[in-house]
Chain A
Amino acid sequence: MGRTGERDARALTCIRCPRGCRLTVELGEAGEVAGVRGNACARGASYARAEVAHPVRSVTTTVPVDGSARLRRLPVRTEREVPRERVLDVVRALAGVRAAAPVEIGDVVAEDVAGTGVDVVATARA
């Protein structure tokens, strides 16, 4: 995502299909989506609206795990998506976190990570 240069428009790439339309999203005065250009289909418009209004991402990474014969690093993910601008904060917040075996998939490794209200859970057994 980047600014187009115009104050009231943003450019992004649609990921709803492999075509990857380059979308221009026109913003209204309150930052609301006033229009979408460049989309080949309706799915592009809905993607643009969601992505501009409230872009969210899942975060996956690993934390060290103690006492596991299977794993040295425990893969983890945010239990649900977090605001995109908080992705790096989530990873930073996990920098000091360790897990201890036994761990089941879905076990909470960190609660309310980086104040996002989202837990981080294990994605593997250890």
Chain B
Amino acid sequence: MRRCDVVVIGGGPAGLSAAAAARATGAGEVLVLERDERLGGILNQCVHGGFGLATLGEELTGPEYAARLEDAARAAGATLRTDATVLGVRPAGEGAAGGPCARPGRRPGAGELEVTLVSPARGLERVAAGAVVLAMGCRERPAGAIGIPGFRPAGVLTAGCAQRLVNCEGLLPGREVVVLGSGDIGLIMARRLTLEGAHVACVAELMPYSSGLKRNVVQCLEDFGIPLLLSHTVTRVLGRRRVEAVEISRVDASAHPVAGTGRIVACDTLLLSVGLLPENELSRAAGVELSPLTRGAVVDDSLMTSVPGVFACGNVLHVHDLADHASLEAARAGAAAAAWARGRATRARGGGVPVEPGRGVRYAVPQRVDPERMPDELVVRLRVDGVYERRSVVARADGREVARRRRDILVPGEMEQVTLRRDALLARGGIGRVTIGLEA
């Protein structure tokens, strides 16, 4: 069986960044497995700009950013394979009877992991790995999940699916479009569809605020006079074979449609941008503990999951707004995976203390930190649960303040962060937990 120090699952911005960092940190063979025919993941269909500012200091489009990351991973010496779908990850030697991994071959060493994949070129294969980095990205919440009443005709599709059709296939999903949800992909697709010849009637958003970046609200909607209907939702889909119209209603403070406020908007397409969910099928099957808050893995300060040697980063860990942030996080995971694979990080799982969301904070990642072994500075990323003005993001160790970051404005659509310093945590002696909340 082939043996790699680090196997990275997913060749998008997170996977490529993790691979480059793993090599730079001293890993031997680093193998990236990408199921698509091209590397870059979702970046390939993100033809718009806004990438690279935080990592490369210049503004690039998605495909350009993907090319930079691919080149960097290649230059670092990572092996990049496309058209290869990973089917499973598990500790080596487990359950050798049955299942897709039950093939004869050299057994990997103790404490190692085993990755099973399939490709058109080579069929099923197993690869032994010292460490695995999960970087599978996320998927879109479909119409069925939110249960919009009405019919189920052609013309209801997620914004990302439309993005692929438009930007990669050159196909126009519809001519008269309503967008439900003001997530960034929905906003960006409103502009893309307008530029490609469709008319976008409006964007309806359930919440009283947009979940997308303000820049996108202005440059994708306001520039083109596309109305953004806050506190509105689609309450019915009409049309049996193809969408003919949707009913849009106002919602009350608890996000329930208000009877009698519905109005019919003629359209042939309903685009959904109603949330992204980490793509954790492989993680779940591998026994990785998942967080109900992020729907991604529960990780420690090295981004290692509950399965020793398995790390997670990017949108499979928690949904980011900026690919740059996913890249930065992934570099940490890649470096930690390399260290693990080389035997330089052998701490047992379960060390450290929990990092918990406090008032106003929906989630914080990582969920565990070990003051003894953490890096000198650790960036904790978090999302708030509403719109707040003039607050501080405050980290407290057993109630005593250890970090504070003042913010004029905090919105759920934009990820926040706070930096924990190792010396500040150590100065508190043996702590029980770190809580991150919003304070005046």
Contacts and interface: CB of A to CB of B under 8 A. Distances in A.
Are A and B in contact, CB atoms below 8 Å, in the complex? Answer: yes
Interface of A: 1-2, 12-15, 17-20, 40-41, 57-62, 64, 70-73, 75-77, 84, 87-88, 91, 105, 123-125
B169 A77 contact: no
B67 A72 contact: no
Contacts of B97: none
B168 A123 contact: no
A33 to B, nearest CB: 18
A75 B169 CA distance: 11
A54 B222 CA distance: 16
Given A64-B170, A75-B63, A70 B408 contact: no
A84 B195 CA distance: 13
Contact of A18 (B44, B168, B219, B411): B411
B145 to A, nearest CB: 27
Interface string B409-430: 1110110000000000000000
Contacts of B213: 18
A72 B168 contact: yes
Interface string B66-77: 110000000000
- Give the secondary structure class of B's interface: mixed
Nearest to B225: A2
A123 B214 contact: no
A19 B47 contact: no
A124 B67 contact: yes
Classify chain B: how many residues form its interface, as a range.
Answer: 35 or more
Contact of B214 (A17, A60, A64, A71): A17
B199 to A, nearest CB: 13
Contact of A19 (B37, B60, B168, B408): B408
Given A14-B214, A18-B411, A125-B67, 15 more contacts: A2-B225, A13-B218, A18-B213, A18-B409, A19-B214, A19-B409, A41-B408, A57-B219, A58-B49, A60-B49, A61-B192, A61-B195, A72-B168, A77-B49, A105-B67
B223 A13 contact: no
Given A60-B47, A91-B195, A123-B47, A15 B219 contact: yes
B168 A124 contact: no
A18 B217 contact: no
Nearest to B37: A70
Contacts of B222: 1-2, 12-13
Interface in B195-227: 195-196, 213-215, 217-219, 222-223, 225
Nearest to A64: B170
Nearest to B192: A61
A12 B408 CA distance: 20
B167 interface: yes
Nearest to B168: A73
Nearest to A73: B170
9 contacts: A12-B218, A15-B214, A19-B409, A41-B408, A60-B49, A61-B195, A62-B170, A77-B49, A84-B223
B64 interface: yes
Nearest to B213: A18
Contact of A40 (B48, B214, B408, B410): B408
A88 to B, nearest CB: 7
A72 B63 contact: no
A105 B213 CA distance: 27
Contacts of A72: 168-170
B351 to A, nearest CB: 36
B214 A70 contact: no
A125 B214 CA distance: 31
Contact of A75 (B37, B47, B195): B47
B200 to A, nearest CB: 14
Contacts of A75: 47, 61-63, 167
A17 B409 contact: yes
B198 to A, nearest CB: 12
B196 A91 contact: yes
A123 B196 CA distance: 18
Interface string B385-414: 000010000000000000000001111011
Interface in B18-50: 37-38, 44, 47-49
B61 A13 contact: no
A1 to B, nearest CB: 6
B61 A77 contact: yes
Contact of A88 (B170, B195, B413): B195
A70 B414 CA distance: 34
A20 B221 CA distance: 14
Interface in B173-197: 192, 195-196
A20 B223 contact: no
Contacts of A91: 195-196
Nearest to A126: B63
Given A73-B168, A88-B195, A18 B214 contact: yes
